[in-house]
Amino acid sequence: MNDVNAIQMENIWTQFGDNVIHENISFSLPKAEILGLVGASGSGKTTLMREMIGLQAPTKGRVMVMGQALDYESGNISGQMLSQCGVLFQKGALFSSLNVFDNIAFPLREIGVKDFEWISHLVALKLAMVGLSAKDELLMPAELSGGMIKRVALARALILEPALLFLDEPTSGLDPIASQGFVDLLCELHHDLGFTVVMVTHDLNVLNDLCSKVAVLAEKKLIAYGPLEVALKCNHTFARQFFHNKHAEKVFMNREHCFG
């Protein structure tokens, strides 16, 4: 058992029918790091993340989370993971029929917490943590801005104080100011709470400002894994197109030495 790694992917193969998505992917993510999963559309980023959360079994290989191998056959993974994972999905981030309070309280009620005062206390704490106020509690998702939706979804993901946070495209659909605000918030919360983060992202600013590790998927394989510098030096065509263009050069200006 390795108590240093939050996630360990060992020789992961994923196949849907004849469609092979991942070929022999292995990496370890130490606790308290922030991993950005990058790859072309359809390269299998979300599927890989779903395998880490236990929502999807790989065809072959082993996934270790917090030192424990996920047993996909037990049918008990969601219970096993619920208490240690917070998840923020890109689509369906909030239940549209529940107000902000009930959305954030949802995971508490799922695990059987009934004391209303205790739930209210925890919801208020998390709302404040993501920069929202008590008066936002009664708003419905349709009344929120994109940035507020992400913040409420983050508050819900954090309500059980998870050791691991999974984020699918956390800044997609946000304007640059809201996006930077969300990145700053995540940075601050990570600093204060020390959780491990795995996120799927196409956002170069997020990779630059937030991620301590980057995993790049292409042609079913992990073509680069390590600090951003490793991905920036990767010679694969996808990596060169993704990390070496006008926009990327601006974002990574402070890492100029990586461009050669």
Ligand X SMILES: Nc1ncnc2c1ncn2[C@@H]1O[C@H](COP(=O)(O)OP(=O)(O)OP(=O)(O)O)[C@@H](O)[C@H]1O
Exposed, middle or buried by CB within 10 Å (0-12, 13-18, 19+), for 204? buried
Q: What does the longest C-alpha to C-alpha distance in the chain come to?
A: 59
Segment contacting ligand X by CB under 6 A, of 28-36, 40-48, 92-100, 218-226: 40-48
49 closest CA partner among 76, 71, 19, 29: 29
Q: How far is the CB of 31 from ligand X (least distance, A)?
A: 24
Interface map 114-153 toward ligand X (x if CB under 6 A): ----------------------------------------
For residues 21 and 231, which CB has a smaller minimum distance to ligand X in the complex? Answer: 21
Residues 41-60 that bind ligand X (CB under 6 A): 41-47
- Here the tokens at position 123 are 């919801």
For residues 18 and 73, which CB has a smaller minimum distance to ligand X in the complex? Answer: 18
Residues 9-28 that bind ligand X (CB under 6 A): 16, 21
CA dihedral of 10, 221, 40, 49, whole degrees rounded to 10: -10
Q: How far is the CB of 168 from ligand X (least distance, A)?
A: 8
User: Is 39:223 a contact under the CB 8 Å cutoff?
Assistant: no
The pair phi, psi for residue 57, each rounded to 5°, is -90, 135
Interface map 206-225 toward ligand X (x if CB under 6 A): --------------------
For residues 56 and 84, which CB has a smaller minimum distance to ligand X in the complex? Answer: 56
- Here the tokens at position 81 are 């993971």
For ligand X (CB under 6 A), the number of binding residues is 10
Q: How far is the CB of 36 from ligand X (least distance, A)?
A: 13
In 154-260, which ranges are E strands?
164-168, 196-200, 213-218, 221-226
Q: How far is the CB of 41 from ligand X (least distance, A)?
A: 3
Q: How far is the CB of 49 from ligand X (least distance, A)?
A: 8
- Here the tokens at position 109 are 């009620």
For residues 91 and 257, which CB has a smaller minimum distance to ligand X in the complex? Answer: 91
**DSSP per-residue letters across 36-49:** EEEESTTSSHHHHH
Site residues (CB under 6 A) for ligand X? Answer: 16, 21, 39, 41-47
